[in-house]
Structure 1
Amino acid sequence: MSGALQTLTYADAIRAGFEYAMARNPKCFAIGQGLWSPWYVGNSMKDLDKRFGKERVIDTPVSELATTGAAVGAALNGYHPIVVHPRMDFMILAADQIVNQAAKWRHMLGGKVSPTVTIRAIINRGGEQGAQHSQALHSWYAHIPGIRVLMPATAADARDMLIAAAQSPDPVMYIDDRWCYELTEDLPPAADVDVRSIAPIVRRSGRDVTIAAASFSLALALGAAEKLAEEGIDAEVIDVRQINPLEPALIIESAARTGRFVAVDGGWSTCGLAGELIACVAESVPPAKLRAPLLRVTLPAAPAPTSAPLEKLYYPTSETVAHRVRSLFA
């Protein structure tokens, strides 16, 4: 990519991804709840209905199942819909359309037809919203063969992964986190992106410990790495980016080299992404190369609280991550 850099927030970058994808493909459209309202999706879709018309940016009644089913059906008929779920919690109501329909049709039809649908799931936590409005359920969907799961952690990836999803021949779940929306980055002009090129990447090089994370958890990992650097601990931080299919080779190589590994995730431990990352390392790195036990930093095994003081205890911070890493050097 070449051209002048443009400073964009993560939320602005999502909008830029929509704009690029829809401008280049007249069969790409957005559908979902609250798409004409900044209250639902922030400025991540501001004025797209004015740019492309309300027949391509479709604000629907509140029915997660119906909007997702319509998008999957349109995808099977040659369109490239992006269905938007302003809260991942309530996307559960569309689980059948995602798990039993979108993820299965290419397999069941012998590869002759694929539902080219992007499912945008928004994680929206904090602010005393409580247990039913605060869930990061990415591990649920990463468990399902047949659907790609992307988790952008930077403004560049927020734009480029959405473009990749909209151009993908596979069904894709694109998961953005509102805690990332104010992150800012200087981006070159947008370009086509092959979803198959999205793999883990080193965001910070280091020699003493490997920390792997995705989405907002990457910010915690990078913050922890800065704190640890002041204490003489050099942490390597890896952004996982695409959690299904997961390509762990870079993570395994790094953990084998540093001898210490910590997985940071915004979900719970049980059957979660952090456990999967640890399993990849445990299965591939000889025990003799590991200098310390493998660790994970996740949410406590409880629903999210509503109380602000309890939220401060519930959600991990960069200091939480740094504290766990320090224990490996005790």
Structure 2
Amino acid sequence: MIQALNSALDVMMARDDRVVVLGEDVGYFGGVFRVTAGLQTKFGKQRCFDTPITECGIIGAAIGMAAYGLRPVPEIQFADYIYPGLDQIISEAARIRYRSAADFICPLTIRVPFGGGIFGGQTHSQSPESLFTHVTGIKTVIPSNPHDAKGLLIAAMEDNDPVIFMEPKRCYNGPFDGYYDRPAKSWADHPDADVDEGYFRVPLGQARIVREGGDLTILAYGTMVHVAHKVIDEHGIDGELIDLRSLVPLDIATIEASVRKTGRCLIVHEATRTSGFGAELSALVQERCFYHLEAPIERVTGFDTPYPHSLEWSYFPGPIRIGEALDRLMRE
């Protein structure tokens, strides 16, 4: 996935000289996860450059660049660091098109590694996606595999509105099945790791049916797509797994069609439960599919606690908790 994201940036910087990459250590060092490796050497220090350690400044400067006509792609090293820039994102980036009666747009893509799985503790592991889905004017995109990572990032960079592009860190080097005691897997030979070298787009707002089925619908995104897929296979359930890919805009048509077919719905995400995006999904499914539901909608999420460093693998929605939810749904 790191290579795919790097390729997307490379392709777009070559196609459009308005694309500018900025952030802490993105230049000479190539980013803390090496997603921007080689870009400064290839495109120069005016197109890919390091910034001071000031998220408010990075995002504020990028918004100014976007309003001026550039297409900046700032990197925030970890999602946990983005909070000092929230006022800039909410009060400026999200509203500039409306406030200016479309005289100004904000074609800004903020790349944000998020989620746990690397023993980063409370300040390197959070999943704050619902903060952004709540704000009108911002798009929120979360890939789960290399192919989608490249295609979605290119689509985000071409979009005329601000996009929060959240990258699940645990998927950078391979799919993640949720088992702590297993070695990390590689993307090698995975069907979603077949990534074209050139330009291609994956449209924003278009979910993907990862696995078709008739027993129940599972809604997931990012890392949890792989965990849920593994649990479905282990339990032998004919589950239909949907990778949302984009939370805003949301492909509600695909969700609705699936739940109407299966009659059951399980929602899985790593973020805390209360006010997590799963609550919005549950409400939408309830509103649109009530008479088709054969069981209550289930959610398996992170707990409503500060992120527990030492208990990280218990905090995750893992195979045990997801499996228990599947069993409950199938008994109804």
Paired positions, count: 314
Structure 1 contact 211–237 (Cα < 8 Å) conserved: yes
For 1:207, the equivalent position in structure 2 comes to 214
Structure 2 contact 144–222 (Cα < 8 Å) conserved: yes
The amino acid across from 1:22 in the alignment is M
Is 2:161 aligned against 1:170? yes
Q: Secondary structure at the match of 2:82?
A: helix
1:166-222 CA-to-partner distances (Å, cap 9, x unmatched) read 1111111111011011132112243243745x4111010001010011111111111
Query: Aligned equivalents of 1:105 and 1:80: distance in 2?
Result: 15
Comparing 33-42 with 67-76, greater Cα deviation is found at: 33-42
For 2:178, the equivalent position in structure 1 comes to none
For 2:282, the equivalent position in structure 1 comes to 278
Give the TM-score of the pair, scaled to structure 1.
0.91
The amino acid across from 2:323 in the alignment is A
For 1:84, the equivalent position in structure 2 comes to 75
Structure 2 contact 207–246 (Cα < 8 Å) conserved: yes
The amino acid across from 2:105 in the alignment is S
How far the C-alpha of 1:165 sits from its partner, in A, is 1.0
For 2:106, the equivalent position in structure 1 comes to 115
Query: Aligned equivalents of 1:323 and 1:11: distance in 2?
Result: 33
Instruction: List aligned pairs for 1:180-219, cutoff 5 A.
Output: 180-183=171-174, 184=187, 185-193=193-201, 195-196=203-204, 198-219=205-226
Query: Aligned equivalents of 1:39 and 1:119: distance in 2?
Result: 16
The amino acid across from 2:196 in the alignment is P
Residues 1:27 and 1:325: Cα distance change in structure 2 (over 3 Å): same
Structure 1 contact 228–235 (Cα < 8 Å) conserved: no
Query: Aligned equivalents of 1:258 and 1:235: distance in 2?
Result: 8
For 1:305, the equivalent position in structure 2 comes to 308
For 1:256, the equivalent position in structure 2 comes to 260
Query: Aligned equivalents of 2:329 and 2:200: distance in 1?
Result: 42
The amino acid across from 1:265 in the alignment is H
Q: Secondary structure at the match of 1:134?
A: coil
1:216-236 CA-to-partner distances (Å, cap 9, x unmatched) read 11111111121122xxx2000
Structure 1 contact 87–121 (Cα < 8 Å) conserved: yes
1:25-79 CA-to-partner distances (Å, cap 9, x unmatched) read 0110101112136685323111111111121111111000011111000100110
Q: Secondary structure at the match of 1:41?
A: coil
The amino acid across from 2:301 in the alignment is T
Greater RCO, CA 8 A, separation 6+: 1
Residues 1:195 and 1:99: Cα distance change in structure 2 (over 3 Å): farther
Query: Aligned equivalents of 2:298 and 2:28: distance in 1?
Result: 41
Structure 2 contact 267–298 (Cα < 8 Å) conserved: yes
Is 2:246 aligned against 1:242? yes
Query: Aligned equivalents of 1:318 and 1:21: distance in 2?
Result: 38
**Selected match of 1:95 from 64, 67, 86:** 86
Query: Aligned equivalents of 1:190 and 1:281: distance in 2?
Result: 37
Query: Aligned equivalents of 2:30 and 2:107: distance in 1?
Result: 28
How far the C-alpha of 1:147 sits from its partner, in A, is 1.0
Structure 1 contact 160–190 (Cα < 8 Å) conserved: no
Structure 2 contact 30–37 (Cα < 8 Å) conserved: no
Give the TM-score of the pair, scaled to structure 2.
0.91
For 1:290, the equivalent position in structure 2 comes to 293
Residues 1:280 and 1:117: Cα distance change in structure 2 (over 3 Å): same
The amino acid across from 1:191 in the alignment is Y
Is 2:131 aligned against 1:140? yes
Identity, % of aligned positions: 31
Query: Aligned equivalents of 1:271 and 1:138: distance in 2?
Result: 11
Structure 1 contact 168–195 (Cα < 8 Å) conserved: no
Structure 2 unmatched ranges of 5 or more? 175-186, 188-192
Structure 1 contact 168–194 (Cα < 8 Å) conserved: no
Query: Aligned equivalents of 1:134 and 1:297: distance in 2?
Result: 18
Q: Secondary structure at the match of 1:276?
A: helix
Instruction: List, as ranges, runs of 4+ consecutive aligned residues in structure 1 with deviation greater than 6 Å.
Output: none
For 1:3, the equivalent position in structure 2 comes to none
Query: Aligned equivalents of 1:106 and 1:325: distance in 2?
Result: 43
Residues 1:39 and 1:57: Cα distance change in structure 2 (over 3 Å): closer
Residues 1:206 and 1:124: Cα distance change in structure 2 (over 3 Å): closer
